[in-house]
A and B are shown apart, each in its own frame.
Chain A
Amino acid sequence: MTANTEATLERGPAVGGLDDGRVTLRQTVAACSLLLVALLAAILVTALFGSERLPTRASICAIASLGQSSCGLTLDQYTILLEIRLPRIFLAAAVGASLAAAGASYQALLRNPLAEPYLLGVSNGAAVGTMIALVFFGTWEWSRPLMAFTGALAATFVVYRLAHGRAGASPERLILAGVIVTTFLSSAIVFVTTLMDATRIRSFTFWLLGDLSGTTTNLLALAIIVAIVGTALLATNARSLNLLMLGERDAFDLGVEVGRVRLIVFFVASLLVGSSVASSGSVGYVGLVVPHLVRLSLGSDNRITVPAAAFAGALFVVVADTVARTIIAPRELPVGAITALIGAPLFVYLLKRG
């Protein structure tokens, strides 16, 4: 394990050996429990805020009864709380968790702190897929996540191929490839909008900035299931991701099946990004800022970072969307505008600090 120890000293990340597995597990459980409690509290508190004021005690009572009792809420209030507001908050949580977990894994796998669904072009790939689904199979609901996933996966592989020069994939090449694919796909999006009628374009510009208001029960369920299963799958590969942060050759020498792990991460991350883009458009900065904040406070062991990033991402987007739907109520802002407004300065701060 000498190579391992040296690399740890040299590059920083705590590389998990077998002996510290139990310690890490305990830390992971502690961090995640704490974040889970914070997330549940945030869900409960943000459910009390909206363009309409609802009676606080009755609302808490109705949520606590899991919708079984109306606790004196009128039918309208009940509908607002349990059929409009809470589903939207859950979607925000699922989208935030998906994007942050995907971002954390991309960063580890590609050994690049800037690797993020949006900057890598993966979000735009999913967006093009979703738009193609809407233009050509508008009525079939499942076509959206399916095409979004396909688009995300295609964009991921194209970026990865482009980034891979003769000398391997350098961080600069990767970001360059990401920028190229992102701008190319942005033009593709503009092109696809010209195929749509003018009345729909407006909804799309809104959607492109990230919008959590309009989703169906099916897509919400899908987003939640994908967020949980996807994060769990990425977390089970976290030890390999730790070793991969040393470089692919070192990881290979330490017994990591590099190709297989890469494939799994690309596939699962694309699934996560695809399902969130299909239900809410491109919510930017979540996959970048959240994993960095988590690493700053919890260290860079992916066994902690990946699941913790998912919880923190959920928390971040839940709060951001509450701002989006209340700040100019009864009108609304796209949530992507809020995440970018918070995320960009935060990232500049992190850059300055780092």
Chain B
Amino acid sequence: MQKVGDTLQPSIERILALRPQLVLVSTASQLEAFTKQLNEHRIAVYVTDPQDLEGVFRSIENLGKLLNQERRAEETVAQLRKRATSVTEEVKSTKPIKVFYQLSAEPLYTAGRDSFVTDLIQRAGGVSVTSDVPEAWPRYSQEAAVAARPEAIILPTDGSMGSANSEVADGLKRSPAALSGKVYRINGDFLSRPGPRAVDGLEALAHALHPEALKK
């Protein structure tokens, strides 16, 4: 496999040199100009921008169709959906926990209305205190986060993020969540990538929020 740059700076030259039939773009990287360039070179582009778990499943199925792997994609999605449903079933009777999702501390970023993480939190038996905020990943006011009195704080960290974002933002250190020790560090690759691992993220979230309700 060849490396063609990173999410924010893909190398168009190297990509063209590889003569791909299809390029997959995630809008998380906001690459409008890049997509346009690929269009000009008549290279098919598939843009995926799921805003909830169903959207993630849909994009997996669409990719299956595009790559002539329809059956495998459907099987994968069926399995993922089964796991997702069983999580939702298990936490069904629990009281939803108010969650603050801290994408980064300095400055404070969170998951907003258009983020699939907001959906994951809800499926895991929580309710994101920032679920109404416009955008997918808004820059958020510290005082608003404190005022929301989150009962749990989720920190996506580890994985490709290394040790970044492993501590709660200073302003939130006295929140009910931090005081009661309900700060959960979850592999950022599960929560920040709208792919099959999103279900791992969902399971990890449910385990963190409702350990008592989950059998395994």
Contacts and interface: CB of A to CB of B under 8 A. Distances in A.
Given A79-B174, A214-B169, A85 B107 contact: no
Contacts of A202: 104, 109
B81 interface: no
A84 B143 contact: yes
B146 A329 contact: no
A198 B162 CA distance: 11
Interface stretch (B6-14, B32-40, B50-58, B205-213): B6-14
B195 interface: no
Query: Taking chain B's interface residues, is the majority helix, strand, or loop, or is none over half, making it mixed?
Result: loop
A74 to B, nearest CB: 10
Interface string B80-123: 00000000000000000000000011111100000000000000
Query: Taking chain A's interface residues, is the majority helix, strand, or loop, or is none over half, making it mixed?
Result: helix
B76 interface: no
B171 A84 contact: yes
B25 interface: no
A346 to B, nearest CB: 26
A267 B70 CA distance: 67
Most chain B beta carbons < 10 A, residue from A84, A201, A202: A84
A214 B106 contact: yes
B164 interface: yes
A54 to B, nearest CB: 9
A75 to B, nearest CB: 7
Interface string A325-350: 10001111100000000000000000
Nearest to A75: B174
Contact of A52 (B8, B138, B139, B147): B147
Contacts of A206: 107, 139
A93 B134 CA distance: 30
Contact of B143 (A80, A207, A216): A80
Contacts of B107: 203, 206-207, 211, 213-214, 332
Interface in A55-112: 75-77, 79-80, 83-85
Contacts, number: 88
Contact of B171 (A79, A207, A333): A79
Interface residues of B, number: 35
A202 B7 CA distance: 12
B124 to A, nearest CB: 22
B113 to A, nearest CB: 12
A50 interface: yes
B174 A203 contact: no
A250 to B, nearest CB: 48
A177 B99 CA distance: 51
B149 A332 contact: no
Interface of A: 50-52, 75-77, 79-80, 83-85, 194, 197-203, 206-207, 211, 213-214, 216, 325, 329-333
8 contacts: A51-B147, A76-B146, A84-B142, A194-B9, A202-B104, A214-B105, A325-B141, A330-B141
Given A200-B164, A330-B140, 8 more contacts: A51-B141, A52-B143, A52-B144, A79-B171, A203-B104, A206-B107, A213-B107, A330-B130
